[in-house]
Structure 1
Amino acid sequence: MACSLDRIALPRRGLLKGAAAISAASVLGRRAFAAPSTPLTFAGWQYQPQIVDENVKTFMGLYDENVTYELVTGDYHPLAETKLTAGQHLDMLYAEENYIARWHTAEWIRSLEGLPGVDDIKAGMFPVSVESLSLPSGELCGLPYYAGYNTFLFNEEHLQAAGVDVPESWDAVLEVCRKLKADGVSEAPFHGMWQQQWPNLSWHMFACWYSEGAQVFDADGAFVDEPALRKILEMHQTFYKERLVVEDIMTLPGEGVPSYASGRHTFMVVHDYNHKVANDPAVSRIAGKVRNALMPGATRSTMAWTASYLMGAQPVDEERVWNLLQFFGGKARDGQYHVIKRWALEFGLGSAYKDVMADPEIVESFSKWRDLDVSAKQLETATSRAIGKAIWFPEWDMFMMQQVQEYIRSGSSTDELVENLAEKASELKTQYE
């Protein structure tokens, strides 16, 4: 299909050189004779691929199926767009929520409405996740990979050493960070996902913007310049200028989590599942000391989202691919959440399904590393990023991260940055109309 997305993906074909493929069928041992000769094709990003490969094998054994799993290494979404633009056939693939409407408009994926059990599936999910996985029309277009939000973490030992309470406003966060640094408790008290990759800085900024009550975009998709948005931008510039963050925060690997787990920092805005990592004694020097609190700010909100499994626009066999989607993004034919429950118990990934999050085994596991009452309150106030359904948003998002990083580093004008962000949003909206 020739569309406005072509100009983004076509120049990126060269990036495919870094992609690697894993064929689950080639390493599977005993296979049932009923397995179809034509495999289902499934592409995923670089998160625990060895476990994904195991899950593929489980699916093939349970359903007498044949699946080829391709691991896409590197910057997943641009690479996936390159593959799709080039005409590669995919029956199922991952995506963050802000790519769903974009890829559906390009006719690379299809809606799930009308497939068996969809209404029951939607009824079993939290409303915020249904919204995340739906098209602007309201049609469900994906099943949940995991559901999460950005959380505010603090090192309890640091606050005790400084004799301060958990700050409830961003002004208080700034003052506490100054005290922590002056008292020698932490040289870089504040931490966050300030990197462009994936896009970490975008999730961080939107969480902070929403916590202060900034709209960022209105219902018509227009960028909103308001005091709350400017306050968050200027606060980040101040953190960097006063060296309250590490100098290399914009290039740290692993979303900056290994740095936080080292014990160097006091506060961090990060994906909620990384709280488990920070309290894991096998990888963290501050295990048992990291607590979660409501996001500081005028509204105490944050950004919540649900990643997805999507069905290709032209599945090899609709029934077979629907089985694959349900196995990974819901219940298998044996009534078990094989994939979702494993992600929750082993890695702390939240689920979009109410019954999964109420599972006693998962409740017990999660309660070991985070305050569930705080988590529940944070989800009640969380904001879903509706602008993510605009097909031009991923381009604006990449532009925004580049601009904000430069703004923070250079100490340049907030007026100039806000003007550039507004102009870019208007320009992209016009191009896609």
Structure 2
Amino acid sequence: MATTFVSPMSRRRLLQGAAGFAALPMLTKLANAAPAQALSFIGWPFAPQAVEENVGVFRKLYDENVNYELITGDYQAVAETKLTGGQTYDMMYISEFRIARWHAANWIRDLEGLEGVEDIKAALLPVSLESLTLPNGKLGALPYYVGHYCFVYNEEHLQKAGLGVPDSWEALIDACRKLKKDGISDAPYNGAWGRNWPELSWSLFSSWYSEGAQVFDEKEELVPDAAFRKVLETYRMLYKDGLVTADIMTQPNEGVPSYSSGRHTFQLMHDYNQKVVNDPKVSKVAGKIRNALMPGANHATLAWTEGYAMGAQPVDVERTWNLLRFSGGKAKDGEYHVIKRWALEFGLSSAYSEVMADPEVVEDFKKWRDLDTTRKQLQLAKSRKIAKSIWFPEWDAFMMQRAQEYIRGGLSTDQLIDELVAKVSELKKVYQ
């Protein structure tokens, strides 16, 4: 499995694009590039065949020319390496915790002033608008999808054990011990604990929020309060007591195939993966998996919105904006071609209420998850404001690596927290 590694980069190096960018022609001049020149678009390795097909629809609908490039492996690290080396793209997938960083480096531009952008902002879910907005208040990307971490359980396992759905971390631990003792599951809990960027970090943040931890304050300082510590110690207890598989930190595909085997009872997962584990073509537990509110003191969770960004030097602003709106909004024919397809085929929720209220989407979604629970969970969800700090990706990668070592028993809670606090201070000095 590819792991996240962000090489240390000084603020000077990250921001060195600013000086060179200032000497470039204005974007209005770049818009005069010949229409025959292909637009460049890079994406991460999720359903690349479907992405290529979507690009084909755009080519026909707009009589356009687009080159789509799949970035394999760790997209975030590879793309950033390419951009640091001077490679430019017209449109690129972007994670919310990279938007501010890539904008600061002048690898992407904001979308303010472009045709229809105010209407798009008004149509976005508040949590998505917050995620896609730059620290300066300007829109930095259009939405690919909005997701959140959800809590799922195997209903058949709980019935066999005579258990209810746990609503606290203590109850979850007790349930796991009983399920294991009764021989119903040898590893009742499963999750995405790998070091790839949407795994252990998202799992921990969702758990921290569910227990009421602040994690970071308004001054961007780590807040290692009781709730923060409790979640860390719960993860370590799950591992130490054999309530998870020994290979949980190296499972492929965010642990979803393992959960689909029927071996486990509980898992925190990306909300769209509920469609996978309830699909009889790929899952042995299809029809048995239910979603519930996150266990914890306040049942909150982490929500995020992934996006499409416009490169700082597009070959043509108008043409690139057409590609962004086709991918992350409505096409010129008024249809959500890409977004609705992602919802129906892959279970990806949309940042637009209009799409989520589409009767076809609603009918499909309710086949594999309880929509009332999903709506309640989203109301409690929090986005990571700290992700707008350009140093955060490096802290996040460090945190996952050290948290894994901690979970294995390699250091104490105090030692881990001391390291995480020190890393915040170190990175702030590097980027100041």
Kept in 2: contact 1:93–1:312 (CA 8 A): yes
**Does structure 1 residue 151 correspond to structure 2 residue 157?**
no
1:137 Cα deviation (Å)? 1.5
Indicate yes or no: 2:331 matched with 1:332: yes
Structure 1 gaps of 5+ residues are 11-34
Which of 10, 31, 47 in structure 2 is aligned with 1:4?
A: 10
In structure 1, the partner of 2:427 is 428
Contact kept in structure 2, 1:9 and 1:81, CA below 8 Å: no
Answering whether residue 238 of structure 2 is matched by residue 239 of structure 1, we say: yes
Q: Which residue identity lines up with residue 85 of structure 1 in the other structure?
A: T
Match of 1:303 in 2: 302
Q: In structure 1, what is the Cα distance between the partners aligned to 2:423 and 2:74?
A: 23
Tell me which residue corresponds to 2:279. Answer: 280
- Deviation for aligned residue 1:82: 1.0
Instruction: State the distance in 2 between where 1:295 and 1:95 align.
Output: 27
Identify the residue that residue 351 of structure 1 maps to in structure 2: 350
What SS class does the counterpart of residue 222 from structure 2 fall into?
Answer: coil
Structure 2 vs 1, CA of residues 418 and 202 (structure 1 numbering), >3 Å: closer, same or farther?
same
Query: Is there any run of 5+ residues in structure 2 with no aligned partner, and where?
Result: 1-8, 17-33
1:342 matches 2:348: no
Distance 2:130 2:14 in 1: 26
Per the TM alignment, residue 7 of structure 1 is displaced from its structure 2 partner at its CA by 5.8
- 1:401-412 equivalences under 5 Å are 401-410=400-409, 412=411
State the alpha-carbon separation in 1 of the partners of residues 317 and 13 from structure 2.
Answer: 30
1:374 to 2:373 alignment: yes
Distance 1:240 1:253 in 2: 18
Aligned to 1:22: none
Following the alignment from structure 2 to structure 1, what is the Cα–Cα distance between the partners of residues 287 and 35?
Answer: 49
Tell me, in whole angstroms, the C-alpha distance in 1 between the residues paired with 2:77 and 2:162. Answer: 47
Coordinate RMSD, CA, aligned:
1.4
Q: TM-score, normalised by structure 1?
A: 0.92
1:63 corresponds in structure 2 to 62
Contact 2:90 2:311 in 1 (8 A): yes
Aligned residue for 1:150, secondary structure, equals strand
**SS at the partner of 1:238?**
helix
Residues 45-77 of structure 1: CA deviation (Å, up to 9, x unaligned): 001111111111110110011001111001101
Does the Cα contact within 8 Å between 1:92 and 1:312 map onto a contact in 2? yes
Deviations 1:159-198 (A, max 9, x none): 0000010001000000000000001010000111100113
CA positional deviation for 1:412: 2.6
**Are the aligned partners of 1:9 and 1:82 in contact in 2 as well (CA < 8 Å)?**
no
Q: CA deviation at 1:199?
A: 3.5
> Structure 1 runs of 4+ off > 2 angstroms?
3-10
Equivalent residue for 1:13? Answer: none
Alpha-carbon distance in structure 2 between the residues aligned to 1:106 and 1:201: 27
- Counterparts of 1:422 and 1:217 in 2: how far apart (Å)? 10
- One-letter amino acid matched to 2:111: L
Deviation at 1:95, TM superposition (A): 1.1
TM-score (norm 2): 0.93
How far did 1:85 drift?
A: 1.1
Aligned match of 1:27? none
2:79 aligned with 1:80: yes
Give the corresponding residue for 1:119: 118
**Counterparts of 2:37 and 2:94 in 1: how far apart (Å)?**
24
**Contact (CA 8 Å) 2:197, 2:397: kept in 1 or not?**
no
Do residues 217 (structure 1) and 251 (structure 2) align? no
1:410 counterpart SS class: coil
Match for residue 131 of structure 1?
130
Greater Cα shift, 198-207 or 100-109: 198-207
- Cα drift, residue 4 of structure 1: 2.9
What is aligned with 1:45? Answer: 44
Alignment partners' CA distance in 1, 2:197 and 2:68? 21
Residue type of the partner of 2:193?
A: W
Give the letter aligned to residue 38 of structure 1: Q
By how many angstroms is 1:203 displaced? 0.4
Residue identity in the other structure for 1:115: L
> Secondary structure at 1:229's aligned position in 2?
helix
CA positional deviation for 1:8: 7.8
The whole-number CA distance in structure 1 between the counterparts of 2:228 and 2:343 is 34
- The alpha-carbon deviation at position 136 of structure 1 amounts to 1.0
Q: Does 1:99 align with 2:98?
A: yes
Amino acid across the alignment from 1:193: A
Letter in 1 for 2:362: V
1:178-189 equivalences under 5 Å are 178-189=177-188
Mapped partners of 2:191, 2:94: distance in 1: 23
- Check conservation: 2:14, 2:84, Cα contact below 8 A: no
Cα drift, residue 6 of structure 1: 7.1
Residue by residue over 1:277-302, the C-alpha shift from the partner in whole angstroms, topping out at 9 and shown as x without a partner, is 01000000000000000000001000
Aligned length: 407
Tell me the alpha carbon deviations over residues 239-296 of structure 1, each in whole angstroms, 9 at most, x when there is no partner. Answer: 0000000000000000000000000000000100000001000000000000000000
In structure 2, how many angstroms separate the alpha carbons of the residues matched to 1:6 and 1:277?
44
Structure of higher RCO (CA pairs closer than 8 Å, 6+ residues apart): 2
Counterpart of 2:265 in structure 1: which amino acid?
T
Q: Give the Å deviation of 1:220.
A: 1.2
User: C-alpha separation between the residues in 2 aligned to 1:127 and 1:342?
Assistant: 22
Alignment pair present for 1:195 and 2:201:
no
